[in-house]
Chains A and B, each alone.
Chain A
């Protein structure tokens, strides 16, 4: 069991999300930076799809009520485990009664905490992820508060030794503001000049951005179509509403929408976009679907490498 002793402004249980209920209008949800949660899981000795905590907007503390192995990943944070600094992307052993304090998030946006055995909340539609708009999943369908105690599952194998960490070159290049995109289902509706604007100017993540979508500020694109008959969207879809300012849909976005989709963020780069805070700048670079799927395969194989090295080191 782990207990929230001081809750940050945002804290939820997330895993890899719901991948079979879109026809019922249920978004996939799950960790907004899925790579970070999965890598943290591997470093805690878990299956990559185990549930962990998604943490944002400020500091807080949790207490381990049992001996545990954990790992932090995603946003950079000033983390302390009972007086000692807790390094990111590293296997750390906690004793029963130890307190983990995140003093502040110093770069990036969403921090992940994976605990060996995973957070053991009920599976809803195949996932333990919290879907806040629908008030289901995770812990009672809500954000975690001070005093909440979360059950931790049984360890499935031997976690890596203390101090095991991931090589930096296996992680996404979070510090670059480059986000690759492929042409969206309505790419052809947009003029060449709109495309030049999208790929040659800088966009800034607006304050109006959350797990549903990131609104982008910068040069407006003229939307020639207005609103279209609704069709499916996916996280990473870049839609252009009437005001011309792009919105990148994220994990909890509705499954269908009527704004034209000019482009879709390459899944390999979705973590880079997800970790951008309001005020951070990004640039888009157009690639083909083949290049994008190759990049995703590389990202998947990097994750696999982290898992392999972690499980080999534990022998």
Chain B
């Protein structure tokens, strides 16, 4: 990959990766750091990564960097209370998309990541499998479980609203 192709990667994919990471970790500064680190890694491997595979490489690197960060933080706090917010403030949401975005935050990290990759980027099971390191069957299962949860979530929300 050339330097100009690298810059094209920044132009084309930085927003998408940022959205994906930010949606997963809900922290702008950390998301920016992850994007920066991801692109640094790409720059270092410029000669070995082709432009065609750059998007996949970027998502894979961002995903793993993000997971590493989340694991490290979990070890430090020892407690993740994201699930405790489940269905607490339901009545304040009226827009379905808003509800879904809230609902997805309640999913486990792996399910959230695969669903976001599927919905945000339209990746296939195989591509998600390559990015996350899960096998295709696991990806399918996570998506199925995630969808089930989301459907139940919006079902309960609609009944509340």
- Asked if A and B are interacting partners, one says no
B residues with CB within 8 A of A: none
A residues with CB within 8 A of B: none
